[in-house]
Amino acid sequence: MSDKGKINTIDRSVIENMSVETLRSLLQDDFNAVDGILDTETLLYATEVLSRKENRVNMETPNLEESLEEFKQEYLSQTEKTEHLCDAPNRCERQIEQFEHHKSLKPKMKAAMIIAAVVAVMMAASITASAMGFNLWDTIVAWTRDTFGLTEQIDESENETPSQLGRLRDVLGEYGITGYGRLPTYLPAGYEEENTQCMDLGEFTVFSCVLGNGENQIILDYRQYMSDDDSVVYQKDDGELEEYMAGGINHYITSNEGKYLCVWIDESIECSISGVDSREELIKIIDSIYGEKK
């Protein structure tokens, strides 16, 4: 999501002279608009001024050092613990039971209901956004987690995982996500594995593989959620959201900061591929997941 088209012309003296109420209202409006109305610098400046003015009326900000320490101890240490755990092969058994349990959760909604809900959300949001002067198709899809259609049986012998994704395949397997053969067999030339990790973030676990070619990075994320309430939102550029059907599954394609990304749901796992240079390359990657050649 870029700052293109956002307000960046508010004179700093104007912001300086705004009342606390006006500043709060400005920031609230920015939050309410799905793509925001202020560019990053203006937003940060407005929060700085608001903070200064609120301090005068005794609104205290938490201590930075304490917050950072707390973050490292309570949040970061947990993440790193899991990363290290999963960096070591065959040491991920800890959560297999957790995933087996989750895999057995019954689907809450049928595919048709989900499609209807997504369409309804998009339509309602479009109307609201249009009224506000925003094009919501330029925003983020509200995700539900479930399959969007019937998937095809895959002959895994034909789905040969590239060596760059070998660790990702192994980690998924170690987490009991066996039989999950939906990794691409095609990757753009020159990309090597830079980092593969799994992180338990409490409400979901993300299996992530970063591929790099020295200049660019492609990231494959597979998210396993612990509840039906959880989901992730994705950032994107201005522009249409494209639906692309492959393997009986709807894939949502868009771009972010000029790179292409795709998000889809397969057997309760939310999958995304981001950072791809072109739409054509992304389509090739998607098709290779299902052994499709077009």
Partner 1 sequence: MDIEQSAFVEKIYREMFKQMYVYAYNILGRPGLAEEAVQETFIVACSKADYIMNSESPKGWIINTLKNVIRNMQRKMENLNKLVIDSLPLEDYIVGIGRNDDYTDVEYSDMISSEEYLLLKKIALQKYSMMEAATELGISVEACKKRVQRAKSKLREIIESN
Q: What residue ranges bind partner 1 (CB under 8 A)?
A: 1-3, 24, 27-28, 31, 36, 39-40, 43-44, 47-48, 50-51, 54, 59, 61-62, 64, 67-68, 70-71, 74-76, 78-80, 83, 140, 194-195, 199, 201-203, 206, 208, 210, 212, 217, 219, 226-227, 229-233, 235, 257, 275
Compare residues 17 and 55 and give the one whose CB is closer to partner 1.
55
Compare residues 159 and 193 and give the one whose CB is closer to partner 1.
193
User: Which distant-in-sequence residues (6+ apart) come within 8 Å of 294 by Cβ?
Assistant: 283, 287
- Cβ at position 233, least distance to partner 1 in Å: 4
- Cβ at position 92, least distance to partner 1 in Å: 17
Compare residues 83 and 281 and give the one whose CB is closer to partner 1.
83
- Cβ at position 123, least distance to partner 1 in Å: 19
Q: Which residues pair with 84 in a beta bridge?
A: none
Compare residues 4 and 292 and give the one whose CB is closer to partner 1.
4
- Cβ at position 227, least distance to partner 1 in Å: 6
- Cβ at position 51, least distance to partner 1 in Å: 4
Compare residues 62 and 133 and give the one whose CB is closer to partner 1.
62
Q: Determine the distance from the C-alpha atom of residue 274 to the mean position of all C-alpha atoms in its chain, rounded to a whole number.
A: 9
Compare residues 5 and 248 and give the one whose CB is closer to partner 1.
5
- Cβ at position 31, least distance to partner 1 in Å: 5
